[in-house]
């Protein structure tokens, strides 16, 4: 049973519990087993209803509990006893408290739903959906924040059609929370503009680095004004890729995990020769010249760019997720379907618990038209 199905089953059982209590009490009181003392069982019913029901449902359970109490008192000729009035008083007090709690919970749930809608809009602005096709490249992406309930974290990605070909960025911000989101937004904004005008990938990377530097400087100024924290220690690992008409992919990496190329059934890590520090650590950069490294990317090949939250994900036995092996086992199918398979394998490996944000972008160059049935590559 999946976690979602299990949660729905538990919710349904919890929702039915107050009604079950009322039916049980009424059955006992109207049966030969009425010698059993059931009065205290009615008072918790409205409280149980308040956990899963709104004010209308909670009020209905409270009224039903009052009706059951009256019916049993009449049937057992118990009116006039102190115990009956004590039970009714307890039921009234619990019902009022339950109605108040239920109303507050419904209001809070509505506010939370509104915040989630705003978060979804923010995600669509910062992390836009990956287009399914860009020129002769099919693409798909997936992103999962490690923080419970979060939709945006420190990972970033974008796939753009530009005059120079299809350009892609995948990055990972060191840090979490709003500062990481701001850094991510700064780098993505710079990439989206520079990718359309800068003819060379190193220049695009420099624009991204300059934008991050401005954001971090602004963050330090805000921190000094509020005395919130010291100088920022954030940096961003990033890899830029470009796919043009030539059967190659060009890469510039700044401290990011190497992309994986699936070519004819074999998976290779595209390790860059030049070792460059992440964005934000330019003081460790030996030279301002960033090398563009070129690798074959032929029709039918697949290229996977990802963040370290994927390959550093561990199972309960603390074993790392073998992304390369899972990528090799993928069969033909649309890129989004393949990415979903990788995500399912990742969640199965970690038992649904990620310690870091995870993002994956899968690119596939259109295969030759006469090779529609390739089977396993």
Question: What is the per-residue pLDDT across 16-52, written as a single tens digit (0 to 9) for each?
Answer: 888 888 888 778 777 776 666 666 777 888 888 888 8
pLDDT at residue number 375: 39
Q: What is the pLDDT of residue 285?
A: 65
Q: Which residue has the higher pLDDT, 184 or 3?
A: 184
Q: Is the pLDDT of residue 92 over 80?
A: yes
Residue 359, classed as helix, strand or coil, is: strand
pTM of the model: 0.69
Give the pLDDT mean for 136-151: 77
Place of tokens 């190329």: 261
* 10: pLDDT strictly greater than 80: no
Instruction: Look at residue 105 in the predicted model and tell me its pLDDT.
Output: 87
Distance CA 3, CA 8 (A): 9
- SS3 category, 332: coil
Mean per-residue pLDDT, 247-254:
94
pLDDT at 45: 84
CA distance 216 to 21: 59
Residue identified by tokens 């090799």 is: 328
pLDDT at 145 over 80: no
- pLDDT at residue 302 in the model: 93
Mean pLDDT of 298-319: 92
Q: Which two tokens stand for residue 141?
A: 């992406």
Q: Which domains does the chain carry?
A: 3-119 (no CATH), 127-365 (3.60.40.10)
pLDDT in tens, 123-141: 666 778 899 999 889 999 9
Place of tokens 């003081």: 283
The pLDDT tens digits of the residues spanning 152-164 come to: 567 899 999 999 9
pLDDT (0 to 100) of residue 231: 46
Contact present, 241 and 167 (Cβ < 8 Å): yes
Q: Given this model, what pLDDT does residue 310 score?
A: 93
Residues 287-297: pLDDT tens digits?
A: 556 789 999 99
Alpha carbons within 13 A on the beta-carbon side of 154? 21
């Amino acid at each position: 049973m999946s976690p979602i199905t299990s949660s729905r089953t538990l919710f349904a059982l919890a929702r039915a519990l107050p009604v079950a209590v009322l039916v049980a009490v009424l059955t006992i009181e109207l049966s030969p087993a009425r010698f059993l003392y059931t009065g205290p069982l009615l008072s918790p019913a409205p409280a149980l209803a308040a956990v899963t029901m709104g004010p209308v449902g909670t009020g209905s359970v409270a009224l039903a509990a009052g009706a059951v109490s009256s019916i049993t008192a009449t049937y057992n000729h118990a009116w006039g006893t102190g115990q009956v009035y004590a039970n009714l008083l307890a039921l009234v007090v619990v019902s009022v408290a339950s109605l108040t709690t239920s109303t507050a919970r419904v209001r809070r749930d509505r506010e939370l739903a509104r915040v989630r809608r705003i978060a979804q809009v923010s995600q669509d602005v910062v992390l836009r959906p990956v287009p399914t096709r860009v020129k002769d490249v099919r693409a798909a992406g997936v992103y999962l924040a490690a923080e419970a309930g979060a939709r945006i974290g420190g990972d970033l990605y974008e796939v753009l059609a530009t005059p120079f070909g299809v350009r892609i960025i995948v990055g990972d911000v060191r840090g979490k929370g709003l500062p990481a989101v701001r850094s991510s937004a700064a780098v993505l904004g710079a990439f989206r503009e520079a990718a359309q005008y800068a003819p060379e990938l190193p220049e695009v990377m420099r624009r991204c680095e300059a934008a991050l530097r401005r954001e971090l400087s602004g963050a330090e100024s805000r921190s000094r004004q509020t005395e919130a924290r010291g100088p920022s220690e954030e940096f961003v690992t990033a890899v830029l890729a470009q796919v043009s008409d030539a059967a190659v992919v060009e890469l510039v990496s700044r401290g990011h995990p190497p992309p994986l190329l699936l070519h004819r059934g074999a998976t290779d890590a595209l390790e860059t020769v030049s070792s460059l520090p992440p964005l934000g650590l330019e003081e460790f950069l030996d030279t301002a010249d960033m090398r563009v490294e070129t690798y074959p990317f032929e029709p039918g090949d697949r290229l996977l760019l990802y963040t370290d939250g994927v390959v550093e994900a561990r199972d309960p036995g603390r074993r790392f997720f073998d992304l390369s092996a899972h990528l090799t086992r993928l069969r033909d199918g649309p890129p989004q379907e393949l990415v979903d398979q990788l995500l399912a394998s990742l969640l199965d490996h970690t038992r649904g618990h990620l310690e870091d944000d995870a993002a994956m972008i899968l690119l596939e160059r259109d295969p030759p038209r006469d090779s529609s049935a390739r089977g396993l590559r």
